[in-house]
Amino acid sequence: METIIWVLHVLAAVSVIVLVLLQQGKGADMGAAFGSGASGSLFGSTGSANFLSRATAVLATVFFLTSLGLTYLSGHQTKAVGVMQGQQKVQVQPVAPASVPTPAQPSGNAVPGNAGSKAGEIPK
């Protein structure tokens, strides 16, 4: 089902691109009114614009609907059964970081840099 929608989607997209590129701009109608050769086309001077614009509208609608269909199918997909279905998941235990020795702390109440002062005494 999804493959059919994908094929329709791609065909509609390519067809819309081709039809848009085939259409003439608004300024091209002025040249056809003065006989610049557009009146000798396959559809006549005004027939091609009507046909191409309707075909573009229809194919744009098909493209829009296939986009919605693909969006719906992608949101409601069933989970595919994989090769690893019977395998149990292995839980990895975190490793504790190695203990890092801390530098030796000075003992006593002496403040480093003030060898002659006592604890609690403000140096002069």
Q: Look up residue 82 and give its DSSP letter.
A: -
- Rounded-to-integer distance, Cα 66 and Cα 2, Å: 10
Domain residue extents for the chain: 1-17+40-77
The Cα-based distances of 9 to 18, 35, 77, 105, 113 in angstroms read 14, 39, 19, 74, 81
Is pTM, for the whole model, over 0.75?
Answer: no
Q: Is the separation of the CB atoms in 53 and 13 below 8 Å?
A: no
pLDDT on residue 91: 72
Q: Is the separation of the CB atoms in 9 and 66 below 8 Å?
A: yes
- In the chain, which ranges are E strands? none
Q: For the chain, first and last CA: distance in Å?
A: 91
Q: What percent of the chain has pLDDT over 70?
A: 54
In this prediction, residues 17-28 reach a mean pLDDT of: 82
Q: How many CB atoms lie within 10 A of CB 23?
A: 13
Q: What are the residues whose beta carbons fall under 8 Å from the beta carbon of 59, sequence distance 6 or more?
A: 12, 15, 16, 19
pLDDT on residue 102: 75
